Amino acid sequence: MTAQKTNPTKIEATSQATNWTSAEAEEKVEELKHWIRTFIVKEFPELDNLPVCPYAPPALKNNTVRIKVVNDNLLEKLTEFVDNWTDKDEQGKVEVLAIITPTNRYSVKEYQDISDKINDYANPLNLAVLDDHPKHVEQIGTLVFNFGKSALMLLARLDALNSGASSLAKNTNYYKNWPKNYLEWVTLWRFKKIPEEFKKYID
């Protein structure tokens, strides 16, 4: 049976918020694609010589990533994306929806609040968002993970995210250099209880 949840409460953008023009939005989309092709798929020694996202290369190859630009209320749009999620569209299989919005529309705290609210709504529907705000730096050693050109949310199936993370923890040393608090913030919150394969990284 499909879980029933009440739509999240609206969060307004800051008074300094500006929208992208069509040309600016198109430029940001191209910058995101370039970042995925040149950084996300790149291997780093800090990650056991694996890509930033080990599952990105096949996703790119199979064209399973979709990109959306949001200029208006982000939480409202994310709720729509959750409600209308499909695992297959006219282009084929869908695994990830990447949503970009102007950085100055939301503070780091507002952005995190949006992420928390949408995950409360989406997780029972087997979906989750991962948030990336340029002013909340995500870093392991000298390796910075942020896209940096805009605020970014990634929407995907929760079970797929968790299965992929568990496989990495069990079969590689991908998480070996991750600080405990970063591992908890990015990955472990998605599990109802910490899987055995992750305990070596947090004990």
Coil, helix or strand at residue 140 = strand
- Please, what's the b/e burial string for 121-136 (b: 16 or more CB within 10 A of its CB; e: otherwise)? bbbebebbbbbbbbee
Distance, CA of 58 to CA of 105 (rounded, Å): 33
Neighbouring C-beta atoms of residue 66, cutoff 10 Å: 16
Helix, coil or strand: residue 1: coil
DSSP state of 163: H
| pLDDT computed for residue 7 by the predictor | 60
Token digits of residue 141:
């050693």
Q: Cα torsion for 69, 53, 60, 27, to the nearest 10°?
A: 30
What pLDDT score does 37 carry? Answer: 95
Q: What is the pLDDT of residue 4?
A: 44
Sketch the domain layout of the chain as residue ranges: 22-158
Tens digit of pLDDT per residue, the chain (203 long)?
Answer: 334 455 665 555 554 568 999 999 999 999 999 999 999 999 999 999 999 999 999 999 999 999 999 998 999 999 999 999 999 999 999 999 999 999 999 999 999 999 999 999 999 999 999 999 999 999 999 999 999 999 999 999 999 999 999 999 999 999 999 999 999 999 999 999 999 999 999 98
pTM assigned to the model: 0.91
The pLDDT value given to residue 16: 57
- The reported pLDDT for the residue numbered 180 is 95
